[in-house]
Structure 1
Amino acid sequence: MTDHPLVPVLAGSAPAGVLSWPAALPAESALEAAREAGWETADLDLADVTDKAGLMTACATALRFPDWFGANWDALADCLGDLEWWPATRGRLVLVRNWQAYAAARPEEWTTLQEIFADAAATWRETETGLAVVMVLA
């Protein structure tokens, strides 16, 4: 696994954040590498998401959000900014796949989601349990 693209992030020698995943590599290998490194993982598949309500449902399901999640942008930012509900020893990795159709159909919502991911990753960057959001390229 030493040549895996996520090794520097998982080892703590490169900052976690919003990262791109090459289409040529199997997305599952990102999840496997994170789990092997002791990171918690979530697989956010947006293949069937066509609107904000579907996005919120997909996030709540994939990330196993707490019952208090309000299914809106502020609640999403709150959940990702305070990860007490998602305990981790080393870090957390969210793999986002099949996002391109949603991003093309809902560009303003997609921009908001990207900003929330970036802000959350930045919040956790200086901690022992970073947050990496890995965007699988098509």
Structure 2
Amino acid sequence: MDLPELPELPGDGLPGLFEGTVPPGVYRCDSVGPDVLMQAEAADWIGAVIDLSDVTTKVEFMDRCATGLELPDWFGRNWDALADSLTDLSWWGETNGYMLMTAGWPGFEQADPASAATAVNVFTAAVGYWTVRSAPLTVLLG
């Protein structure tokens, strides 16, 4: 499966996302860290980081999603369950926006390109779902 071409986070970066000058989307970025979560919180966005360091399989990816996103117990650790979780963020609470970030994405993408491509498709569909709602979702792949 070919990996989709993903844009880099535009020059306006995080402030642009929070102000609405950068559209919600799935973006590549150099890195994510605590400062990104602090900026999201300051903008009244809810954010989480999925640590993909040393993740090489779909099973490990799903486990890290469950942990990093603090997914509900009903999360089934498959693509459909991830899609369902990302289109029903009621468990995350009310907010101005949602930000999902990954750390270690390039390593996972290289180790399991098929799963990485499927994850991007799930993320892209979830972003599209939230784009027409009051609280957008953006995914940063770092």
TM-score of the aligned structures, taking structure 1 as reference length: 0.87
Match for 1:125 among 119, 131, 136? 131
Q: 1:68 to 1:122 in 2, by over 3 A?
A: same
Q: What's the counterpart of residue 53 of structure 1?
A: 59
Match for 1:15 among 10, 23, 29? 23
Higher mean C-alpha displacement, 4-13 vs 114-123:
4-13
Shift of 1:28: 3.0
TM-score of the aligned structures, taking structure 2 as reference length: 0.85
CA contact (8 A) 1:21 1:27 kept: no
Q: What's the counterpart of residue 112 of structure 1?
A: 118
For 1:92, give the aligned amino acid: Y
For 2:44, give the aligned amino acid: G
Shift of 1:88: 2.7
Q: What's the counterpart of residue 37 of structure 1?
A: 43
Please list every run of 5 or more consecutive structure 1 residues that lacks an aligned counterpart in the other structure: none
Secondary structure class of the residue paired with 1:6: helix
CA contact (8 A) 1:21 1:134 kept: yes
CA contact (8 A) 2:127 2:136 kept: yes
Cα distance in structure 2, aligned partners of 1:130 and 1:91: 5
Cα distance in structure 2, aligned partners of 1:19 and 1:35: 19
Q: What's the counterpart of residue 63 of structure 1?
A: 69
Shift of 1:4: 6.3
How large is the RMSD of aligned CA atoms in angstroms?
A: 1.7
Cα distance in structure 2, aligned partners of 1:134 and 1:41: 11
Higher mean C-alpha displacement, 85-94 vs 52-61:
85-94
For 1:16, give the aligned amino acid: P
Q: 1:27 to 1:21 in 2, by over 3 A?
A: farther
CA contact (8 A) 1:93 1:132 kept: yes
For 2:27, give the aligned amino acid: L
Secondary structure class of the residue paired with 1:101: helix
